[in-house]
Amino acid sequence: MNDQVFRVHCSNGFREFDSHTTTKIYKIMTRNQLKQMWFNLPTSTIVTKTILVEMDKYVGRQGQGTVQITNDGPSGFSQFKTHQVNPIEYVLNCKEYKSKEYQLVIK
């Protein structure tokens, strides 16, 4: 079986080819070619480490908020989210913030 299959589509809608129509060539890839292409795509080596503090806007929860710690890199993706009564105090005492590898974002 031929792995290199090409289809020709003429823009005039007919199967005949003439020099006045635009021809588009589509390559149909086999399953193995698609799988090989997928696994050979470059992976991102960008490491993103953030601590996001979002303060609550409700009247009954003034000073409270959520803390979201995100780590994305070659070792994988991890995310942790928690609600805290004192979110700034929680962040200043957590090990991720003390490691100085994480970017702090306060909303």
pLDDT for residue 18 is more than 80 = no
8 has pLDDT over 70: no
pLDDT at 5: 45
Mean pLDDT of 53-67: 91
> In Å, how far are 31, 37, 73 from 41, measured between CA atoms?
16, 6, 16
67-70's contacts with Cβ under 8 Å and 24+ in sequence apart are 67/91, 67/94, 69/94, 69/96, 69/102
Q: How do residues 20-48 score in pLDDT, each as one tens digit?
A: 555 555 567 788 888 888 888 876 678 89
User: Which residue do the tokens 């090409």 mark?
Assistant: 6
pTM of the model: 0.58
